[in-house]
Each structure stands twice: as structure tokens, then as C-alpha cells.
Amino acid sequence: MSIKIALAGNPNCGKTTLFNALTGSNQFVGNWPGVTVEKKEGKLKGHSDVTIMDLPGIYSLSPYTLEEVVARNYLVGERPDAILNIVDGTNIERNLYLSTQLMELGIPVIMAVNMMDILEKNGDKIHLDKLSEKLGCPVVAISALKGTGIKEAADKAVDLAKKAATVTIAHSFADSVEAVISAVEAKIGSDVADEQKRFFAIKLIEKDDKIKDMMKSVPDVSAEVQKLEDEFDDDTESIITNERYQYISSIIHDCCTKSKKSEGGSVSDKIDKVVTNRWAALPIFAAVMFLVYYISVTTVGSWATDWANDGVFGDGWHLFGIGTSAYNDAADEYAPYDAEIKGFLEAAEEKAPDVTKEFTEVYDDEDAQEADVDAAIKAFTSNSAIKSLTTEVNIAGEDEDEELVNVNVATFETALEQEEPDPADYGVWVPGIPVLIGNGLDAIGCADWLSGLILDGIVAGVGAVLGFVPQMLVLFIFLAFLESCGYMARVAFIMDRIFRKFGLSGKSFIPMLIGSGCGVPGVMASRTIENDRDRKMTIMTTTFIPCGAKLPIIALIAGAFFDNAGWVAWSAYFVGIAAIICSGIILKKTKMFAGDPAPFVMELPAYHMPTVENVLRSMWERGWSFIKKAGTIILLSTIVLWFLMNFGWADGSFGMLEAEQLDSSILAAIGSVIAPIFAPLGWGNWKMAVAAITGLIAKENVVATFGILFGFAEVAEDGAEIWGQLGASIVPIAAYGFLVFNLLCAPCFAAMGAIKREMNNTKWFWFAIGYQTVLAYIVAFCIYQIGSVFTGNIHVVGLIIALLFVAGFIYLLVRPYKESDTLKVDMKKKAFAK
């Protein structure tokens, strides 16, 4: 017979750590039906017939948050065979509030007091035998982090479930309260099981509306409620809460012994005095996150990502670095010759462009025959214009002092005779995935179109995403460590002071911080926000922060239009933060998001050193989710994009196009249709429109698309290469509007997939995408139309509309918050009545 055991406990009590230890790799992760709260279940190690359900971390069984509703519905509706209640021993008084409610469900409960090692270190003691007697359930001591006592707890839970014994509730409230509870129990019909009647009765007394939805017939208990409120001169929910804490206080007094050492404050308390200090908290947090991102993005993460992009998904790599040094020496020797060749060709292109183009087409073709290359060289060097050409070339590297030499036809031919070193000839060379697949396709004589689809579409597209995985994993390791040790819980409180002023919760900051690396995990991190409205708003605004994939776009616009001005980059981040703050203010004044942010209540766990296993497990769960979501979406989108760019109508028939026939592609046709939409933004040509659309696949595609559409074989992401054709296509103010549009509009497909999953509602998903895109369009429109005033190219109608947009935007920001005003009036009336 199958046995179901539910793990229940407060957030940060060690429940998930225990779940991972009990189930190992036998886990299944999904979402509860109809909601975004994560559903984790797994098979108990050594017991294939025992299923462990990891319920969301909750503080009570009252329906205040989505997690509490989900947990209560499962416990009441599904009725597991036993509940393993995890209690944080270092904060037992707060944790026992949930425990008293769990015991009223009529389900066998075993309590596992966690973090006993920390408790003993502090000199405190919990008398488990007395605690078990008072609560009326078995109590065991465990350390989920170290794995001590967990097998005993699991075995006892299984035994308890198999016995299916009748549960006797040990705790009781004041006599007058118990009398009312008994009276309400008597009124409840047979549709509620006898062992659950006490729980339902208490919830009816607390005026819990959602409990009524779980009953076929709801008794009238208004008389009992009124009697209790008159006697205690308080609302019934507060009465029951006070009764629970009075009972808990009596337990703590009899079962717990505090040491004199703990009276002066624990180590965690002393650390918190520094890291949550009003003035020092933000600088400390900034320093911590700078270190995390420096290591993840600039050093270790960057090295790993470079290896993945250039090696695994590039030409290949030297195994364990064997041969790298020898190859670098050979490359350094060849570098001056390479500089002479490039410098001479640049000068030749200015003097004889047609002749130079004919030569480079053959010389750069990797499949050209040696005889054809020799013929091309001879034809090029014998040209009268080239024969007399002499130019000055800098053969020193970028970081070296300038070293100029004169290059003529003779030195050019000498340089051509030098053989460029091949890294595969040095050490132990491992070919990259594209090389291996390309060689395999050539070996089987694969058709050109299929080869292009696989290499230029699937491998290039998916590889571009997977190439960033090492960097993401390094970042996830650090974030997992900060979360597990307890620091991230403090950060949410620190940021709550600031974010609450703009209608957002402090928990909204963490997704935005993570989103600066990648929008996918940033959006996924929003599930930690309990309030549904706050969570939806966070999902909608998280991707406004420029992620790593948007950095090449910023660099491109800065280099091509603004001479690499530094203000372009920091202004991009300012625009993202401003969009988040303004969105928070405006959306909170709408009916959908009305109301102040939910009260921010979270138990701060004691600081502790997380285990390597838990950190790596958390890292892998996030990383694997990124790989699955991004990989599958990118796979499909790159296939579609490759097809649209390489097929079209040329010479009166449909088919695969040559590189110079791009204007006849399906993509060009689509771009020509949508281009007028962006004309009011100053970039209404089809190439600019297509680049923005391909950015929906992956933001890096914007720069790569420009490279293809404007005829460059490679794209300089650092902005140093000023693109004449691109620079001539739009004016600088429109280019900045193009940058802002791509920063604020709907994110890449992978992030959109994450938004769809977290919203778990099609209407809300499209509302989020629509809001992001419309906001991006309006802001880019205002930038171009108002900015054109300063460039002397005024569009009167567009300027008037832009000014109206600005006026409307300011009104939405400063208009009174009616909901809050009404709430204040009601509070004043109640205060006056008292």
C-alpha cells in the first residue's frame, strides 16, 4: 500500500534540506494545479512505497498567502497518512504556532526539532520527552544539515502512518473558548470527518471565508462568534491567536531551558547588528554583490564561458592546456605578418576596391583550391594600382607600443607565404562540437540546406545559449551559498525600506538583482514573493534591468553613434531602474494592483555554513531549468529564423538564396511590412525592424543580425568599429531610442517562457508582454520626437503627441492614491469610534 507523508514547517526551518536528504535523486518537481507555487515530491530512500510531499514553507494554516492556501488544501483535501513537522529549535516558540494547527487536522504528526546542534552550541536545551508529553505526539531531535537523526524521524513517520491511529489532541484553550468550539463542532454536518471537525470549527469561529468553500453545508455560527467577541471584547481571530500563544508559552516554560550565554545574544544576533545596520547594510550588500559578480562574470565565470564559447561550441580547445603555450608563441610570431596583410588590403581597398574585393573573395574562401588562390594572388599583385602601393602598418599588438613598418607588394607576398599556425597542430587538440558535426555532415555528403540548418541554425543558436551556462552556474553557486547561509533573507529586509516607498516589496529586489545576469532566473526568483499582486508586478518589471545579453547592444550603439561615450552604458541602467520605479508607482494606482505591499514578515534564520551537497543541488536545479527552458525555445526559434533569412523569392521562383540576395528573403518581406510601425521612432527601415524582432529570440541576436544585414562578416561588440552603413541609416537620437526600446520591450523567448510559466495564466502573460512593449514604444517615441527638437529636425504632430504622452505619464505618477486615502479615512473613523 502506498504511504504519503507531508513535510510541513515554517520558511527557513530546514525543511527543504531534510527533503533533499530523505529523497536524494528520487524527486519530481512541478507546480500545484492552477498555481505557480512549486510542488516537490519524492520517494523515501529505501522505501519505494513511501512518497514524501514537500509543502511550501508557511507560518500558519490561515489563507493569507498562496502557499498557505495550497498547503491547507492539500492537508485537508488529500489527507496524507502522516505529517512530519519540522521545527526550528533555535526559534521554537514561533514555529509551534503552526504545529498546534497541524495537530487539529486529525492526521498523525511527528515533530522533528531541527538545528539541535546550534541549540546545544548556544548552551540551550529542549526537553524532548516533556515536549512530546505536552504536545501529544512523538518528538525527535535532528540536524538536517549534518544528516543526524533524520533516518529515525523518517522511520517513525512511516510507522505512525502504517498504524493509522486515532489522533488525540492534547492541547486545549480557555474553558469559555473550548465551550464555543464544542458548540460549533456539534453544528457541523457529516460531510466533515469527525477527526477534522475541531479544525473546521476553529476556522469558522475565525471567520475564515475560504473554509466554507470546502464544506457542503455551512452552519450558522454567528451567535457563538458574537458570544465570544462580547466576552473577550476582541475579534475572534485575535482571540484564537492569543489562546494559541498562551498555550505555547506554557510549553516553552516547562520544556525549554535557556542558558545565560544566550541571554547576551547569539552569534547571528551579533552579526546582524552589523550587516543590517541602518547605515552600513547597503554598502556591505553592495560590496558582497560586487565580489559575487566580479568572480562570476569577470574572472572564473568569464574563463569558463570563454572556454565553452571558443572551445566546446567553437573550433576546439587544448586538453588540460597541453600545447597552448607553444601555440601562443607561434601565433605571436605570425601576428606581424597578419597585421601586414590586413594593413595592405585596407590600403588596397581604398585605391582599387573592385580588384581587392575579387582577391579577398577567393583568399577568404576556406574551400578554394590552392591553384585558384595562387591565381588570385598573381592577378591582384600584378594590377598596376597595387604594384605601386606602399603603406605604413602598425605591426605591434593592441597593448604594445606602436611599431610602424612600410609594406609594399614584395613584403605583402612574403607575408602571404607564411603559414598561419593551426592550434590543432600543437599538443592535444579536442575539436569543438560545430567542427565535429561539420566534418560528419561533409563525410556523409549532407545537402547544403540541411548542413546550413544544422550548423548555422541549431548548433549556432543553441550553442550561443549553452555557452553562457558555465558563467550562470558560477553565479548560481554564490547565490545558493548566500541563500543557504541566511544572508539573502536579510537583504530582502534591507531593500524593503526603499522598495516599499514605490509600491514594491523588499523581496522584489532579489529577482531584479539576479535578472542583471539573466532574465530567466530573475523571473523564476519571483516565486519567493507571497503576495500575488506583488509577484505579478515583479515579473513584469524584472527584465527592465539590462541583462548580460543586452550589453553588446549598449556597446554597439555607444561605439557606432556616440564615440564610445561612457554615459550611454550607465544611462541604460538608469533607464531600467527608472522604468521599474515608475511602473511600481503607476501600477499600484490601478485596480489590478491596488493596495499597499503585503506586510513583510519573514523569520530570519540563524547563520550557518551550508553543505557542499545542498549548494551544488541548488545550483544544478537552477542551471538545469535554464538549460531546458532556454535550450528548447532557442532551438525552435533559430530554426525558424534561419529559414526566414535563407529562403525567399529570387529570379521569379522560391528557393534557397545566396548571401547577396538577402533583400529577397522572407525575413526581408516581413521586415518591410512591420517597418512602418517603427517609423515614428526614427528607425523605419526593414533592417532595423528585423534586428529588433530577432532580439526577441536572444538579445545578442540584435548585434549579430546587424553584422549580417549590413554586410560585415564579424561584429565588433566593443563598439570600436564604426559602421558606416549603420551610422548612415538612422540619426543618433533615433539610435538611442532603438537602444531603449530593446532594453524595455518584451525580453528574449527564453525569458518570455519563464514569464509564461510563473504567471501560469495566458491573459496575464500577454498583459505583461503588452505592457513591456507598449512602454518601450512610448519611451522610444518620446526620446526621438522630443530629441529631434535639439537636432533641428522637428516633426510637429509627433512632438505634440510626445508631449501629451509625457504629460499623461507625469499625471499617472503624481495623481492621488485613492485606495490608500480611503484606507486612512476608515482607520481614522475606527480610532474616533473607540
Predicted confidence (pLDDT) per residue in 456-508, tens digit: 777 776 776 676 678 778 877 887 888 778 787 787 777 777 777 666 766 77
Of 237 and 712, the structure prediction assigns the larger pLDDT to 237
- The CA–CA distances, whole Å, from 761 to 530, 536, 755, 816 equal 17, 11, 10, 31
Of 421 and 556, the structure prediction assigns the larger pLDDT to 421
Label residue 16 exposed, middle or buried (CB < 10 Å: 0-12, 13-18, 19+): buried
Give 732's pLDDT tier (boundaries 50, 70, 90). confident
Contact 66, 35 (CB under 8 A): yes
Of 637 and 581, the structure prediction assigns the larger pLDDT to 581
Least reliable range by pLDDT among 62-66, 69-73, 265-269, 666-670? 265-269
Q: Given phi > 0 = left and psi -120 to 50 = alpha, else beta, which region is 265?
A: left
Q: How far apart are CA 669 and CA 674, in angstroms?
A: 9
Identify the CA nearest to 202 among candidates 223, 219, 185. Answer: 185
Query: Cα torsion at 823, 829, 832, 834 (round to 10°)?
Result: -90
Contact 161, 82 (CB under 8 A): yes
> Which 3 state secondary structure label does DSSP give 52?
strand
At a CB cut-off of 8 Å and minimum separation 6, what does 814 contact?
none
Average pLDDT over residues 10-18: 83
Query: Which cell goes with 284?
Result: 556591505
Q: What is the pLDDT of residue 820?
A: 44
pTM exceeds 0.85, yes or no: no
Least reliable range by pLDDT among 129-143, 407-421, 604-618? 604-618
- Is the per-residue pLDDT at 55 higher than 70? yes
Least reliable range by pLDDT among 49-63, 231-245, 294-308, 639-653? 294-308
Q: Name the phi and psi angles at 316, rounded to 5.
A: 145, -175
Give 630's pLDDT tier (boundaries 50, 70, 90). low
Q: What is the pLDDT of residue 724?
A: 53
Strands 404-407 and 391-394 come out as antiparallel
- Is the per-residue pLDDT at 696 higher than 90? no
Q: How far apart are CA 546 and CA 577, in angstroms?
A: 9
CA 803 centroid distance within chain: 35
H or E element: which one contains 223?
Answer: helix 222-232
- Is the per-residue pLDDT at 720 higher than 90? no
Q: What is the pLDDT of residue 4?
A: 93
At a CB cut-off of 8 Å and minimum separation 6, what does 46 contact?
none
Q: How far apart are CA 112 and CA 141, in angstroms?
A: 6
**Residue 659 CB: number of other CB atoms within 10 A?**
8
Average pLDDT over residues 823-833: 40
- The CA–CA distances, whole Å, from 515 to 474, 589, 689 equal 15, 25, 26
Task: Round the CA-based radius of gyration of the chain to a whole number and report it.
Answer: 33
At a CB cut-off of 8 Å and minimum separation 6, what does 252 contact?
92, 93, 96
pLDDT tens readout for residues 122-173: 778 888 999 998 888 999 999 887 888 999 999 999 999 988 777 777 778 8
Q: How far apart are CA 613 and CA 611, in angstroms?
A: 5
> Which 3 state secondary structure label does DSSP give 111?
strand
Of 652 and 388, the structure prediction assigns the larger pLDDT to 388
When mean pLDDT is compared over 324-338, 353-367, 613-627, 707-721, the highest value belongs to 324-338
Q: How far apart are CA 477 and CA 724, in angstroms?
A: 43
pLDDT tens readout for residues 806-825: 999 888 888 776 544 444 43
Of 391 and 607, the structure prediction assigns the larger pLDDT to 391
Contact 170, 118 (CB under 8 A): no
Give 278's pLDDT tier (boundaries 50, 70, 90). confident
Average pLDDT over residues 391-405: 79
Q: How far apart are CA 455 and CA 441, in angstroms?
A: 9
Instruction: Report which residue type is found at 49.
Output: D
Give 83's pLDDT tier (boundaries 50, 70, 90). very high
Of 718 and 637, the structure prediction assigns the larger pLDDT to 637
Q: How far apart are CA 467 and CA 307, in angstroms?
A: 8
Query: Which cell goes with 180?
Result: 464555543
Query: Which CATH architecture is the domain 3-163 placed in?
Result: 3-Layer(aba) Sandwich (3.40)
Query: Which cell goes with 237?
Result: 481571530
> Which 3 state secondary structure label does DSSP give 674?
helix
Give 710's pLDDT tier (boundaries 50, 70, 90). low
Q: Percent of the chain beyond pLDDT 70?
A: 85
Contact 52, 23 (CB under 8 A): yes
Q: What is the pLDDT of residue 758?
A: 82
CA 457 centroid distance within chain: 25
Q: What is the pLDDT of residue 568?
A: 77
Beta bridge mates, 391: 407
Of 476 and 767, the structure prediction assigns the larger pLDDT to 767
- Is the per-residue pLDDT at 31 higher than 60? no
Q: How far apart are CA 699 and CA 706, in angstroms?
A: 12
Give 712's pLDDT tier (boundaries 50, 70, 90). very low
First to last CA, the chain: 59
Q: How far apart are CA 589 and CA 146, in angstroms?
A: 48
Domain boundaries, the chain: 3-163, 330-429
